[in-house]
A and B are shown apart, each in its own frame.
Chain A
Amino acid sequence: MTMPTKVIIEEVLGGLKKVGGITASAVVTRDGLLVASDVTGEVDAETFAAMTATMTGAAETAISEIQAGSLDRVIVEGETAKIISVGAGSKALLVVLAASDAPLGLVLLKIGDASRKVNKILE
């Protein structure tokens, strides 16, 4: 990972934070390594990267097991926040942390745009 690539991805992630309700985001490889993140507070970005990749990988194998096509996204809803994970090309994932009351439609739209940008950057 060259430094400019990481900086460009961080800019994309920075843009996501302007969307109401999104509090943090990260790009991770599908095997759980952190590429870039916009995470503040007490969240350990690297542990979060490994956990979300594992969560998404397990969801993918579950969808494949029931022969339900390919995985679009994983949404985990907690009491005060939700985690949304989507593919950003064949090698990476975009993971977003949003407030529980964040407008899901808008958030998903912006995540879709950002994941396509990240995919292009990593190609």
Chain B
Amino acid sequence: MHRRAGCTVILICLLTLLTGCWDRVEIQERGFVVGVAIDVSENEAEEEGTGEKEERAKGKERYVVTYQFVAPEGLQGDGGGNAESFFNLTTEGASMMETARLLATRTSRTPYFGHIKTLIISEDVAKRGRLADVVDFFLRDHEMRRGTKVMIAKGKAKDVFDFKPPIEKMPVMFIRSVAENIHRTGRIYPPVRIGDLHELLLRQTSYALPRITGKKEEVKVAGSAVIQGNTNRMVGWLGEEETIGLNCMRGEIEGGLEKVEVEDNLVMYEFRGKNTSIEADVSDIENIKFTITMESEGFIPESLKTVDWMSEKVVREVEKRIGKETVRIASKALNKLHKEFKVDAIGLGRHLYTHHPKVWDKIQHDWDIGKNYFAKSTIELKAKAIVRNSGVIIKSEPIQE
């Protein structure tokens, strides 16, 4: 009997443990952060609101960070309600964690970072070489995922989040979808995940990041920011066409358009896949010779010039012109990187590391910095295009003689 009574007491005590768990946060009490925009602060370090000078440790920089939250109430229904489906909170601090914790004083919902989709960093942050500083928190925290996409904003990063997208309910979702349109245009630099950025930062090789331009009325993802790998300082922009060129050289283009002139009118060519091969002649490290061969295939979606697409001669001629055009676009980007910035965002250094590791060991500290072997190298561009088909018709009007 005693034994049974003892057991009962223990079981009743154990029941109390079943009531809950330490870390319970109900889903409706969570504030899901979907995007973060980081700007540099212009203000002197001040305790928010009070105006008293801060006596605590000061960092090298102060940041204004905007967090975009989902407001699930606004997402319900078919857009009938007037409720906004997102809200932004902006805080200021010397580190990301500081701003994140300041959020707790401003929102009733516990911020949860596991669903951050995009991280937008303003050009000022990038130009001051603070990229590694600002992404550290997003890599280190266990809630974060390495799939967050990173972009550099022209102007203020915060402006991007104020934009009211016409179709999507949240600016961040809109941006994310736009940034993934790389199948349709080469003007967008392929999305860089924060995990990839971690790799790039650790390798100290130069790289590019997609550019986003935000205004109240319109947000545009096109072009790219070039970042020097050793200093992690942004050195400048590549425009939209130059970004196509960079994408071609990196062989990362998945779709996009090129227009070529045939006689007096235009013919459009759409890429469907690109393959780039790099060859390096490293016999003289003072003048390494690279040959970048860009092969593409695609079709003709629009032919303003009426030509006979059934004729092999015509097709060969167009292919040649497309090749020339590719080289022209790529060399524009190459000139900027090679002659003006002297920064290797193409990944030639990486090619040396993977294919000529012994040479790379000798020159890696002076690749696109210091002695700058990159600037001393010679780069030759070659292009080859294959027109797979001319669409579903041959001509839209008879050839005029």
A, B co-complexed:
no
Q: Which residues of B are in contact with A by a Cβ distance under 8 Å?
A: none
